[in-house]
């Protein structure tokens, strides 16, 4: 996420310099500026049941000893010798979570729909999400959650089995966070985020999405403020689904990055998605299929950070003797939430932003830049937990202060030895010169004397 922020600053600088030459498209939609401490109001209307809760909504399947492809692809089992997520509390803001034998550490965190404890799931959506995060292994089953020793805190915020009181079928508030026209206001989603943060969640999973053309609307300001509170005040990692085209999100955004480096990918966004588009505050997750390709339904956008399997995903059903299978970025997000719980358990010294950065930096992608459907790539739980990354813990330490004594003045040299030496040398030179001078007359005298004559 920080890499995109730096890239965005660079793009903005280039765009400013070239504004008079090639202005970008007008009317780009972006989230509203964050307003800290913007407390959401109560929901405008209470909920009423429109269908009897019969624990349906997902496709039931039988269990199997084979490991489902999402768990095999991400290889959570390779992380469990290091950590299983113990000590982490993952809040699931969803349709509720039904009690299940394999959710050993499930707690109710509240119900903004029916006023209960959050442990009723009419649709099966929230239970499936929770299973992908924290389901315990079981004999004869190849399925387990990515962080099986993490605690699950369920907060029910949305329900397709309910509607605002007094509303007719199909008539729901524009601010609803429910895909299917049920019950779930954005103000309630903001309240749920704050509730989870105050309840001690270390990770929050949000697999409910609101999409809208041209922006979300004024209530999205409450979402931004709640996310800011969770991340920057309460130090919580927030993970959100990107959204599904055709299921709540009516059309696809452009899937290719602009070829012009001075053009921001935000300029071509037509469909906003919250909470995922609050990019600096959440890890937004796209979906891939079993072949590693981006899922057709996965909503693209410059806010997508990473991807995980979301096509034909198997997890727990509300019925304890069955499993369920479903498609959607809703089920890719909890695999990333499990990864975040594992990282936080193994590396408790990291803050929320460092955890999010670690997950994006260790993701795998064939592309050099951030893609609009899978972000920086597919998450790698083992690498996220165990890799030693150079950007972490790199601090400049103050050098130790050591008192250094002032250098002493060198001692004044005694001139006497030098004087004596020079004097002696001078005397020797004089004597040597006199000896040479005296030798010249003697030599001359010896050469002038006549040779002696023999035989005389």
Task: Name the residues annotated as catalytic.
Answer: 94, 125, 330
Report the alpha-carbon distance of residue 26 to residue 366 in Å, rounded: 32
Strand partners, 285: 241, 306
301: phi then psi, degrees, rounded to nearest 5: 170, 155
Based on its alpha-carbon atoms, the radius of gyration of the chain, rounded to whole angstroms, reads: 39
Contact 239, 357 (CB under 8 A): no
Q: What is the dihedral of CA 277, 376, 309, 204, to 10 degrees?
A: -50
Contact call for residues 252 and 300 (beta carbons, < 8 A): yes
Residue 63 CB contacts under 8 Å (≥ 6 apart), including other chains: 140, 141, 143, 322, 323
Helix crossing, 2-17 with 352-361: angle to 10°? 80
Determine the Cα–Cα distance for residues 132 and 335; give it in Å rounded to an integer. 6
> Three-class SS of residue 274?
strand
Three-state SS for 38-92 is CCCCCCCCCEEECCCCCCCCCEEECCCCCCCHHHHHHCHHHCCCCCCCCCCEEEE
- Which neighbouring-strand residues pair with 163? 48
Helix ranges (H only) for 123-254 are 125-134, 186-198, 220-228
CB 316 within 8 A of CB 61: no
CA angle 228/16/356 to nearest 5° reads 30
Distance CA 265, CA 250 (A): 20
Please give the Cα distance from 127 to 253 (Å, whole number): 30
Residue pointed to by tokens 């997520």 = 85
């Amino acid at each position: 996420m920080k890499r995109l922020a730096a890239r965005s600053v660079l793009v903005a600088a280039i765009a400013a310099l070239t504004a008079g030459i090639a202005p970008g498209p007008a009317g780009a939609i972006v989230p509203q500026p964050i307003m800290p401490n913007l407390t959401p109001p109560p929901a405008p209307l209470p909920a009423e049941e429109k269908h009897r809760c019969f624990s349906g909504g997902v496709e039931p399947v039988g269990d199997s000893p084979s490991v489902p492809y999402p768990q095999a692809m991400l290889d959570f089992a390779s992380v469990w010798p290091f950590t299983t997520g113990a000590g982490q509390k993952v809040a699931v803001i969803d349709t509720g979570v039904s009690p299940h034998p394999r959710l050993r550490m499930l707690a109710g965190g509240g119900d903004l729909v029916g006023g209960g404890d959050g442990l009723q799931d009419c649709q099966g959506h929230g239970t499936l999400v929770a299973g992908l995060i924290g389901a315990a292994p079981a004999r004869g089953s190849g399925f387990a959650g990515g962080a099986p020793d993490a605690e699950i805190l369920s907060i029910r915020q949305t329900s397709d089995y309910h509607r605002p009181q007094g509303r007719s079928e199909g008539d729901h508030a524009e601010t609803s966070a429910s895909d299917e026209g049920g019950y779930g206001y954005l103000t309630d989603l903001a309240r749920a985020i704050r509730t989870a943060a105050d309840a001690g969640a270390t990770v929050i999973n949000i697999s409910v999405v609101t999409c809208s053309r041209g922006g979300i609307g004024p209530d999205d300001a409450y979402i931004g403020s709640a996310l800011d509170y969770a991340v920057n005040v309460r130090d919580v990692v927030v993970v959100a689904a990107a959204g599904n085209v055709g299921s709540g999100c009516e059309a696809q955004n452009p899937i290719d990055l602009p070829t012009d480096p001075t053009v921001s990918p935000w300029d071509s966004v037509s469909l906003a998605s919250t909470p995922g588009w609050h990019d600096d505050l959440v890890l937004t997750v796209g979906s891939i299929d079993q072949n590693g390709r981006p899922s057709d339904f996965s909503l693209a956008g410059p806010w997508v950070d990473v991807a995980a399997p979301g096509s034909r995903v198997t997890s727990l059903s509300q019925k304890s003797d069955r499993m369920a299978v479903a498609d959607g970025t809703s089920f890719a997000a909890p695999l990333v939430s499990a990864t975040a719980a594992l990282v936080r358990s193994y590396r408790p010294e990291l803050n929320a932003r460092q955890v999010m950065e670690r997950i994006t930096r260790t993701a795998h992608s064939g592309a050099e830049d951030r893609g609009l459907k899978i972000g920086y790539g597919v998450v790698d739980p083992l690498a996220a937990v165990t890799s030693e990354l150079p950007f972490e813990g790199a601090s400049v330490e103050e050098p130790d202060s050591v008192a250094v004594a002032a250098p002493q003045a060198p001692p004044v040299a005694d001139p006497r030895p030098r004087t004596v030496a020079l004097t002696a040398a001078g005397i020797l030179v004089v004597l040597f010169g006199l000896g040479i001078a005296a030798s010249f007359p003697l030599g001359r005298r010896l050469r002038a004397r006549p040779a002696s004559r023999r035989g005389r």
